[in-house]
Amino acid sequence: PTRYDPKTIEPRQQARWADANAFVTRDTGRQKYYVLEMFPYPSGNIHMGHARNYVMGDVVARHKRAMGFDVLHPMGWDAFGMPAENAAMERGIHPKGWTYDNIATMREQLKLLGLSLDWSREFATCDPEYYGKQQAWFLELYRRGLVYRKDGVVNWDPVDNTVLANEQVIDGRGWRSGALVEKRKLNQWFLRITDYADDLIEGLSTLDRWPDKVRLMQENWIGRSKGATLWWDVAEVPAFLANAPEGQPSHDRDPIEVYTTRPDTLFGASFIALAPDHKLTRTIAEHRPDVADFVKACAQTGTSEADIEKAEKLGVDLGVRVRHPFDPEKTLPVWSANFVLSTYGSGAIFGCPGHDQRDLDFARKYALPVLPVVRPDGTETVEIATEAYVGPGRIFNSDFLDGLSVEEAKAEAIRRLEASGHGKGATIYRLRDWGVSRQRYWGCPIPVIHCEACGVVEVPADQLPVVLPDDVTFDVPGNPLDRHPTWKHVQCPSCGADARRETDTLDTFVDSSWYFARFTDPTAAEPINAEAANRWLAVDQYIGGVEHAVLHLLYARFITRALSDAGMLSVKEPFAGLFTQGMVVHETYRRTDGAWVEPTDVDLSNDAGVRSARQRSTGETLIIGDIEKMSKSRKNVVAPAEILESHGVDAGRLFVLSDSPPERDVQWTPGGVEGASRFVQRVWALFDGFDPDASASDQDAALIRETHKAIKAVSEGVEGFRFNSAIAKLYAFVATVRDHDGAGGAARREALSALARLIAPFTPHLAEECWTRLGETGMVLDAAWPTYDPALAADDDVVLPIQINGKRRGEITMPRGADPKAVEAEALANPAVQAYLEANGQSIRKVIVVPDRIVNLVAG
Ligand code: ANZ
Ligand code: ZN
């Protein structure tokens, strides 16, 4: 047999696809299928994680094509963002050159993978052609009131000199720089995503092809909370506030607004707590150094919810007292506490230590009263020691709420509050409007002009795109657009006066929130060709990392709704099916001095089960570390290019899919890819040795049955996103075909024809070569997916339960369609049946065999 040489065959097959323009999207009016993998950031190299992601998408695309769908499978680049500017700052390379060079490199690397991508639709988000369309719809949303400006407290990264979105602050530090984030006030652009909060929650229930985990994460992120807003009248203030100058309005006496989800527990309130940066806290801090110190200390600890949850509960009594809304005679102290967030609800709470753990911890620390008001059903009271009671029950110690259930009491409390004007029912959200301003160069310019006379003026449509200037400098921190000598100086489009161009650019998440729609017609004059978008959207299968479970996927769902409401397309949900794939991980190796060592410089040995590692270049013994995500910092990266070079594309494709379920991490091992490579050779040997003229034999029927079983199993594996089990089945089938080497030409042709088509999504180059070897003239790419006869594919054996007097007592395994007499004999001889009869002193009165289903025995 001839050896299969991927090095010559793979480029030849790729050239054949290219010559035939085989991957240009065909729109023939058949059912459509849109497969999309999250487009890459052009960092410079395709890594193994990318490769796995795109190969998965390619398996889906090729399979759907074989199933007769019109398939859309495009690729592009999420090309704006900080790393390009960092390269500019560190190495003096222009962000544009850096980005497009990286794209060129990565495109070549991707093409090596033999992916069935329609490259004719490619674009990068940094193409003026693309971001100009983005500016156009941004202005449309502006006219529709979904874009606005406001002063916001922003997260300021003092190293990157930019504002960060909340999501980009991790444990109080900038996600890229790692610097401690500061709070600053700045005028910012916002997108009104909160208008869609309810709809974004409602829509989740329609996404039945999304992982539950991702849907839950989105729901929690939006964080809808139902409760009440309360107003607490101020009864007493410290002397320094009480003595405010006569006649001057004092906001320090305004009622204090509080948000609660538990108005039923109002009679258990024992204090009010304000966030450290609540307006009233800050006012009092101006007069009281101890309060000022407290506020300062709070600002220095982490600001994330997790940090606050962990920190010890701390507070300070502000010397203010408020009246209870249900009992004006009763007053409560007002504290400031570190566990109250200024950005949630109204930045103030009432504390009910009996029924909230944080409040209880706080009350115990500062000796504040604990007044239980909810008792579990069937009890008279409830003892609170160190644990708050947060369960359901009946209200007590609560005047007119006594005896009501928690839910009834919530409704009644709200009714009373509304009647007296001290509160109202309210729904609030954790989700904030999306701050999209970035003070950076390498992003989409926000297309407005600031005029002293006219205010904010849109850049007229015929002046779009607002293109980034090329001549910018990165020698000093800050926004290069802002210090560019001429770019921002323009005439007002409305009055002609000297005016200033907006120098903020858009968060790159805006770029990725609609690219899937642009792919449906990437050269359309309008941002979205509605007809094309409605033909192809929603994306039927979206594939990407679970790290995008919230932000990217939520923003894309929001923008799709907003553009849909603006009449630009007519779908609401951009991604009907979502799959989140696992990572590619690899063992790590470390020298005793702590330095990481690349796998290529490591010799591994295994001595009686004890593994050890030695550095090849120095001979030193190494420490075998954890299995971690491939990353440059750990030096445990294996580049796809190395594998393609040594084992071929198909073996690499097969390996990244074969070892683990797609949603789980796959560990890279040299042995894994070698196994895949041997499989490729085995498959080829079957085709190469195929003799169409071999005469029929008694192996034929069995081989045909195995073929139909394989078609069934592989089809189910591919459709169910269980690529690893589909591949395992293919391995087994190849062994079966080998074992039936005495089968006749016709039976073997049927088996091999199916095999070539079944492997095509995974190892497409090999499949084409095999297909041709069978004498087929077209491409396997365009061949129909094989179908199976359910009767032939059915399992040969069936398990029949045995019931004695209606109770299951055992089971037997019989060939499908076995003679009922044989089934009866087998059942009666069954040891479990024998044992039962003996133990109960019974004998069989009657036997009923339901063929291939069950055996019923009547004993007595
Ligand atoms: C009184 C109360 C009594 C509460 C009780 C709970 C239990 P979710 O479900 O997350 O919306 N809260 C309100 N605003 C807050 C803020 N800015 N920072 C920290 N906590 C805040 O939680 C709402 C509950 O969290 C509210 O209900 C409030 O405490 C607290 F037995 O009010 B509750
Ligand atoms: Zn003007």
pLDDT at 1: 67
- Compute how many other C-beta atoms are within 10 angstroms of the C-beta atom of residue 603: 11
Range scoring the smallest mean pLDDT among 369-373, 402-406, 681-685, 794-798: 794-798
| 352 vs 662, more confident | 352
**Cβ proximity of 420 and 221 under 8 Å:** no
Amino acid at 262: R
**Cβ proximity of 491 and 513 under 8 Å:** no
- The residues near 383 (Cβ < 8 Å, ≥ 6 apart) are 372
> Structure tokens of 789?
């006869």
> Structure tokens of 455?
């205010």
Closest CA to 799 of 827, 828, 835: 827
pLDDT at 298: 87
Q: Is 514 in the pocket of ligand 1 (CB under 6 A)?
A: no
Average pLDDT over residues 809-831: 90
| Binding-site annotation, residues for ATP | 632
Ligand that comes closest to the CA of residue 448: 2
- The residues near 453 (Cβ < 8 Å, ≥ 6 apart) are 492, 495, 497
pLDDT at 214: 95
For residue 225, report the distance from its CA to the centre of ligand 1, in Å: 10
Q: Is 849 in the pocket of ligand 1 (CB under 6 A)?
A: no
For residue 453, report the distance from its CA to the centre of ligand 2, in Å: 5
Q: Is 357 in the pocket of ligand 1 (CB under 6 A)?
A: no
CA 643 to chain centre: 28
Closest CA to 13 of 107, 106, 115: 115
Q: What is the number of H-type helices and E-type strands within the chain?
A: 28, 35
Place of tokens 């405010």: 244
* pLDDT exceeds cutoff 70 at 304: no
For residue 130, report the distance from its CA to the centre of ligand 2, in Å: 28
Q: How far apart are the first and last CA of the chain?
A: 67
Average pLDDT over residues 773-780: 96
Place of tokens 């609609």: 514
Q: Is 355 in the pocket of ligand 1 (CB under 6 A)?
A: yes
Q: Ligand 1, residues 230, 232, 260: which to mutate, most atoms within 8 A of Cβ?
A: 260
For residue 489, report the distance from its CA to the centre of ligand 2, in Å: 13
pLDDT at 164: 74
Q: Ligand 1, residues 221, 224, 262, 349: which to mutate, most atoms within 8 A of Cβ?
A: 349
Residue 794 CB burial class (10 angstroms; 0-12, 13-18, ≥19): middle
**Cβ proximity of 240 and 303 under 8 Å:** no
> Structure tokens of 278?
């609540």
Q: Is 345 in the pocket of ligand 1 (CB under 6 A)?
A: yes
Q: Is 856 in the pocket of ligand 1 (CB under 6 A)?
A: no
Give every strand in the sheet of 348-351, ordered side by side: 234-236, 315-324, 327-337, 271-274, 348-351
* pLDDT exceeds cutoff 60 at 303: no
Q: Which atom from ligand 1 is nearest to the alpha carbon of 342?
A: 17
Strand partners, 451: 455
For residue 458, report the distance from its CA to the centre of ligand 2, in Å: 11
pLDDT at 245: 66
State yes or no: cis peptide before 538, omega within 30 of 0.
yes
Q: Is 225 in the pocket of ligand 1 (CB under 6 A)?
A: yes
> Structure tokens of 485?
């000598």
| 327-337/271-274 β-pairing | parallel
Question: What DSSP string describes 93-127?
Answer: --HHHHHHHHHHHHHHHHHHTT---BGGG--BTTS
pLDDT at 498: 97
For residue 260, report the distance from its CA to the centre of ligand 1, in Å: 5
CA 630 to chain centre: 19
- The residues near 388 (Cβ < 8 Å, ≥ 6 apart) are 353, 354, 355, 356, 357, 359, 360
pLDDT at 764: 98
Closest C-alpha residue for ligand 1 atom 8: 225
pLDDT at 215: 97
Residues with CB under 5 Å of ion ligand 2 are 451, 453-454, 492, 494-495
Strand partners, 33: 71
**Cβ proximity of 430 and 467 under 8 Å:** no
**Cβ proximity of 724 and 657 under 8 Å:** yes
Question: What DSSP string describes 263-324?
Answer: GGGGGG--EEEE-TTSHHHHHHHTT-HHHHHHHHHHHHS--SHHHHHHSPP-EEEEEEEEEE
Q: Is 262 in the pocket of ligand 1 (CB under 6 A)?
A: yes
**Chain length of the chain:** 860
For residue 254, report the distance from its CA to the centre of ligand 2, in Å: 40
- The residues near 737 (Cβ < 8 Å, ≥ 6 apart) are 686, 703, 706, 748, 751, 752, 755
Percentage of the chain exceeding pLDDT 70: 98
Place of tokens 């069950």: 854
CA angle (389 as vertex; 388, 392 as ends), nearest 5: 155
Average pLDDT over residues 551-571: 97
* DSSP reduced 3-state for 343: coil
> Structure tokens of 427?
């729904």
**Cβ proximity of 157 and 181 under 8 Å:** yes
Closest C-alpha residue for ligand 1 atom 26: 260
| 185 vs 697, more confident | 697
Contacts 24+ apart (CB under 8 A), 400-406: 401/264, 401/266, 401/267, 401/373, 404/264, 406/264, 406/374
Q: Is 429 in the pocket of ligand 1 (CB under 6 A)?
A: no
* DSSP reduced 3-state for 562: helix
Distances (CA, A) of 737 to 176, 683, 745: 53, 10, 12
**Cβ proximity of 720 and 661 under 8 Å:** no
**Cβ proximity of 61 and 22 under 8 Å:** no
Q: Is 356 in the pocket of ligand 1 (CB under 6 A)?
A: yes
- Residue-wise pLDDT tens digits, 417-429: 999 999 999 999 9
Q: Is 344 in the pocket of ligand 1 (CB under 6 A)?
A: yes
Closest C-alpha residue for ligand 1 atom 14: 345
| 374-375/394-395 β-pairing | antiparallel
Ligand that comes closest to the CA of residue 265: 1
- pLDDT-based confidence at residue 625 (cuts at 50, 70, 90): confident
For residue 435, report the distance from its CA to the centre of ligand 1, in Å: 25
Model confidence, pTM? 0.85
What is the rounded distance in angstroms from the CA atom of residue 585 to the CA atom of residue 664?
Answer: 10
- The residues near 692 (Cβ < 8 Å, ≥ 6 apart) are 745, 748, 749, 775
Contacts 24+ apart (CB under 8 A), 486-491: 490/449
pLDDT at 111: 94
- Compute how many other C-beta atoms are within 10 angstroms of the C-beta atom of residue 104: 11
| 541-545/32-37 β-pairing | parallel
Distances (CA, A) of 176 to 102, 162, 436, 475, 583: 20, 11, 18, 19, 21
Closest CA to 518 of 30, 74, 46: 74
* pLDDT exceeds cutoff 60 at 84: yes
pLDDT at 394: 96
Q: Is 340 in the pocket of ligand 1 (CB under 6 A)?
A: yes
pLDDT at 249: 63
| 803 vs 476, more confident | 803
Average pLDDT over residues 133-141: 98
Closest C-alpha residue for ligand 1 atom 27: 260
pLDDT at 69: 98
For residue 784, report the distance from its CA to the centre of ligand 2, in Å: 63
- Residue-wise pLDDT tens digits, 676-699: 999 999 999 999 999 999 999 999
| Binding-site annotation, residues | 632
What is the rounded distance in angstroms from the CA atom of residue 794 to the CA atom of residue 816?
Answer: 9
Q: Is 352 in the pocket of ligand 1 (CB under 6 A)?
A: yes
For residue 494, report the distance from its CA to the centre of ligand 2, in Å: 5
Q: Ligand 1, residues 264, 303, 356: which to mutate, most atoms within 8 A of Cβ?
A: 356
Range scoring the smallest mean pLDDT among 358-367, 564-573, 624-633: 624-633
Closest C-alpha residue for ligand 1 atom 20: 340
* pLDDT exceeds cutoff 90 at 152: no
Range scoring the smallest mean pLDDT among 566-570, 599-603, 662-666: 662-666
Residue 441 CB burial class (10 angstroms; 0-12, 13-18, ≥19): buried
pLDDT at 836: 92
The mean predicted confidence, pLDDT, of the chain is: 93
Range scoring the smallest mean pLDDT among 135-139, 444-448, 623-627: 623-627
Closest C-alpha residue for ligand 1 atom 1: 260
Q: Which atom from ligand 1 is nearest to the alpha carbon of 347?
A: 17
- pLDDT-based confidence at residue 244 (cuts at 50, 70, 90): low
- Residue-wise pLDDT tens digits, 112-131: 999 999 999 999 999 999 99
pLDDT at 302: 58
Q: What is the dihedral of CA 831, 834, 835, 840, to 10 degrees?
A: 160
For residue 340, report the distance from its CA to the centre of ligand 1, in Å: 9
Alpha helices in 576-669 (DSSP H): 640-647, 649-658
Q: Ligand 1, residues 222, 224, 261, 265: which to mutate, most atoms within 8 A of Cβ?
A: 261
Ligand that comes closest to the CA of residue 499: 2
Q: Which atom from ligand 1 is nearest to the alpha carbon of 308?
A: 19
Closest C-alpha residue for ligand 1 atom 28: 260
- Residue-wise pLDDT tens digits, 578-618: 999 887 778 889 998 888 888 888 888 888 888 898 999 99
CA angle (220 as vertex; 217, 222 as ends), nearest 5: 110
> In the chain, helix, strand, coil percent, each to 5?
40, 25, 40
